[in-house]
Structure 1
């Protein structure tokens, strides 16, 4: 039976079509690594779309394109999926292979810039939350895993919605610094709050694209879907 999967993201409630186009493009890129599979993308922001699409995909694997497991993945997503759809994989931000991908990227940036990793400061920019610790805990765990691989001089996390703030985390660092946004897409906070924090802090280091936009992410997701389809009774690797 061909593999079927739905990649689900939060989307953009103020303009659902933007998020729908982004997740459709990601699903198409993932499908390139899964011959004969049917992979679709959908957002929670598009009224009625996830209900209709999941009803047409009984037994489809669900891949949450979220940075942590919280209210959206644990409450909202299951409530809106049609009966019989699943299983649901761990959220993108918690996949144990993601820190390795990020570490490889940071090391490559260091090599390209002539930085020695042990003389480089790493900053992970995250969302945070005033209501739940899950988001910042996932960000901090990701940062620790990446730092364990890269061995930078220092590693910091800064958040949009809790302390330490992005501005605080970016302050006082030199040019040999790399800021990696722990976000799935390049909009909202990445386009507004992060540039504002960079300007306010006087940060002169390197600001990377969000980890969700790394070119190896579609293959990483495809590997996770293939693994889940072939080993349904084995728990997925999380960090």
Structure 2
């Protein structure tokens, strides 16, 4: 079954070309797993591009490369899409298969570093928000599900825009700790706030790449798109 899909991210309003290049690369990686589909990537930051692409892809599946559902995915994105585009899938950070991918990754990290999961402290670093609890709730739900599959001795979350802060969450841990950034890309907060928090807290554990950069993510997204293209179910997460 052939189908079209658009993978949509927020992008970088100050430099739209950067975000456009990143989402195009992700779309190409997803397309490698979906020879039957036409996959494009686009950001909300690129003026007029999502409107044009969605107009030329009637019925295209919409995959939000966001960590939670909120104003951007529920208001701004639908508003920007041309008539006839959709349906829209659950956001990347809410995909029920993501915690399983993360738990597998963490177990491999422990093996590579000679750590035991049940003697390892896990910190999930997220964005948070001063306006809505949706973002931190999504982060905590992700952390809880990862912990179920990974089995650390402790799990905590830290946020850029909420308490507990990243610095507080990273403090007081030994070298048997792993920090997993709950972000889609290596930009902004991952390059600025997170390193600052590591320095301020004296964190000596293992800092992983953002979950959105895991090499298995394109395959996961491809699976979600294929599922939605062949079923009327709104979500695999039941």
Same fold at TM > 0.5: yes
Tell me the distance in 2 between the aligned counterparts of 1:88 and 1:123: 31
Aligned to 2:186: 186
Tell me the distance in 2 between the aligned counterparts of 1:36 and 1:85: 19
Aligned to 1:109: 109
Tell me the distance in 2 between the aligned counterparts of 1:222 and 1:117: 29
> Do the aligned partners of 2:127 and 2:160 also contact (CA within 8 Å) in 1?
yes
- CA displacement at 1:36 relative to structure 2: 2.8
> Do the aligned partners of 2:89 and 2:234 also contact (CA within 8 Å) in 1?
no
Aligned to 2:147: 147
- CA displacement at 1:3 relative to structure 2: 1.3
| Equivalent residue runs for 1:73-84 within 5 Å | 73-84=73-84
SS of residue paired to 1:104: helix
Aligned to 2:20: 20
Aligned to 2:233: 234
Tell me the distance in 2 between the aligned counterparts of 1:109 and 1:94: 23
Is 2:214 the counterpart of 1:205?
A: no
- Show structure 2 runs of 5+ residues with no match: none
Aligned residues: 238
Tell me the distance in 2 between the aligned counterparts of 1:60 and 1:236: 16
- Show structure 1 runs of 5+ residues with no match: none
Tell me the distance in 2 between the aligned counterparts of 1:152 and 1:8: 33
Tell me the distance in 1 between the aligned counterparts of 2:47 and 2:230: 32
C-alpha RMSD of matched pairs (Å): 0.8
Q: Deviations over 1:203-234 (max 9, x none)?
A: 00000000000000000000000000001x22
TM-score (norm 2): 0.99
Q: Deviations over 1:97-121 (max 9, x none)?
A: 0000000000000010000000000
| Equivalent residue runs for 1:35-50 within 5 Å | 35-50=35-50
Tell me the distance in 2 between the aligned counterparts of 1:183 and 1:90: 16
TM-score (norm 1): 0.98
Runs of 4+ with >6 A deviation: none
Tell me the distance in 1 between the aligned counterparts of 2:192 and 2:237: 30
